[in-house]
Structure 1
Amino acid sequence: MFDGAVRKRLDPILNRIGAALAERGASADAITILGFVLGLAAAVLIAERVYSWAVVLILVSRLCDGLDGAVARASGKTDFGGFLDIVLDFAFYGAIPLAFIVADPEANGLAGGLLLFAFYVNGASFLAYAVMAEKRVMTTDARGAKSLYFTTGLAEATETIAVFLASCVFPGWFPALASIFAIICLYTALSRIVLARLTFRNPK
């Protein structure tokens, strides 16, 4: 929901940094992988209940997630780069709730499992819509230049990171935060299904 507003503020800064990194030979794919590794390290820290450092690593990981696209725009985007970015993003989004479950299975297990289920459904609706949009040669710049068709919704990257960070700052709130956000994710998936029904009901 807030991704568009955040991108308008951050993209000019990231694009300048990305162009400078590209001039120095930085690889967009390497930055994508670095961001994922840092995200996994954050998940390990959460599982060990070292929440303060996990906050730092999540923020740096997501900075890399913004910079990889900026570097790709400066040096030349590839389909593999777009593929790698979305796969590792989804892996990161799954690792953090799993880490909270490992940290306290009794308190966080049910809510964490519900959030993972909601992520799965929401991610499936997002990717399936993108495939159908590609078949119809649809385009959008609602979230900037992307490698695949991005549909907007209540639950996007900004909201997800905010929930992760809030859960690290207030780990005892994770069950409530995860449950509420799971409902938001499922609503986003449902709204995308309705949109798909309206958009794709007729033959191509």
Structure 2
Amino acid sequence: MLDATMRKMIDPPLNQLGRWLARWGMTANAMTILGLLLGLLSAVMIACGRMELALVPLLLSRLADGLDGAIARATQKTDFGGYLDIAADFLFYGAVPFAFVLADPAHNGISGAFLLTSFYFNGTSFLGYAILAEKHGLETTSQGSKSLYYSNGLLEGTETIAFFVLLCLLPGYFAPLAWSFGALCFATATLRIIGASALFSKNR
């Protein structure tokens, strides 16, 4: 819901930094991998109970996630680059809740499983929508130039990162936060499917 607004604010400085990094030889795919490694490092810290320290690599990983697209725009966008980026994002998004489950399985196990199920459902609705949009030649620029069609929803990347930060700051409240955010993920996916039905049903 907030991604389009955030993009207007962060894209100009990201694009400038992306051009600078590209001139120094950094590639978009290398930045994607760096961002993933930082995200996984954050997950390891969470699993070890160091949530406050995990915030640093977590936020740096999301900076890298923004910079890979900026570098691609400064050099050359590729289909594989977009594919690698979304695959890395989904691994990161799954690793963080799993890390909280590992940190305290007795208290976080069931709520963490619910949260991961909601991510799975929401991610599938997102990718399925992107496939249909590509098939019908639809394009979106509300969240910047993307390799995949990005459908809007109640919860997007901005909200998810804010949620992860909140979990790190308030780890004792993981269960109620996970139940709440997971329910919103289910709502987001359901609304996306309803929207897809209205847009694509005439072509079934």
TM-score normalised according to structure 2 size: 0.99
| CA apart distance, 1:6 | 1.1
Alignment RMSD: 0.8
Residue 183 (1) aligns with residue 183 (2) = yes
Question: Partner residue of 1:35?
Answer: 35
Between the aligned partners of 1:70 and 1:98, the Cα distance in structure 2 is: 29
Between the aligned partners of 1:163 and 1:114, the Cα distance in structure 2 is: 15
The one-letter code of the counterpart of 1:154 is L
Between the aligned partners of 2:100 and 2:81, the Cα distance in structure 1 is: 29
Q: Deviations over 1:65-86 (max 9, x none)?
A: 0000000000110000000000
The one-letter code of the counterpart of 2:190 is L
2:202 counterpart SS class: coil
Between the aligned partners of 1:153 and 1:40, the Cα distance in structure 2 is: 26
Q: Deviations over 1:42-100 (max 9, x none)?
A: 00000000111100110000000000000000011000000000000000000000000
Between the aligned partners of 1:25 and 1:33, the Cα distance in structure 2 is: 15
1:77 counterpart SS class: coil
Q: Deviations over 1:168-192 (max 9, x none)?
A: 1110011111111001110000000
Question: Partner residue of 2:69?
Answer: 69
| CA apart distance, 1:140 | 1.1
Q: Give unmatched runs, 5+ long, in structure 2.
A: none
Q: Give unmatched runs, 5+ long, in structure 1.
A: none
Question: Partner residue of 1:149?
Answer: 149
1:201 counterpart SS class: helix
TM-score normalised according to structure 1 size: 0.99
Question: Partner residue of 1:120?
Answer: 120
1:197 counterpart SS class: helix
What is the count of residue pairs matched by the alignment? 204
1:150 counterpart SS class: coil
Q: How does 1:1-204 map to 2 (within 5 A)?
A: 1-203=1-203
Between the aligned partners of 1:53 and 1:68, the Cα distance in structure 2 is: 24
| CA apart distance, 1:15 | 0.3
| CA apart distance, 1:111 | 0.9
The one-letter code of the counterpart of 1:131 is I
The one-letter code of the counterpart of 2:124 is A
The one-letter code of the counterpart of 1:158 is T
Between the aligned partners of 2:92 and 2:189, the Cα distance in structure 1 is: 19
Between the aligned partners of 2:114 and 2:70, the Cα distance in structure 1 is: 34
Between the aligned partners of 2:166 and 2:160, the Cα distance in structure 1 is: 10
Between the aligned partners of 1:114 and 1:203, the Cα distance in structure 2 is: 34
| CA apart distance, 1:39 | 0.4
Between the aligned partners of 2:203 and 2:102, the Cα distance in structure 1 is: 46
Q: Deviations over 1:123-166 (max 9, x none)?
A: 00000000011111111112110001110111101111111111
Between the aligned partners of 1:89 and 1:71, the Cα distance in structure 2 is: 17
1:123 counterpart SS class: helix
The one-letter code of the counterpart of 1:47 is A
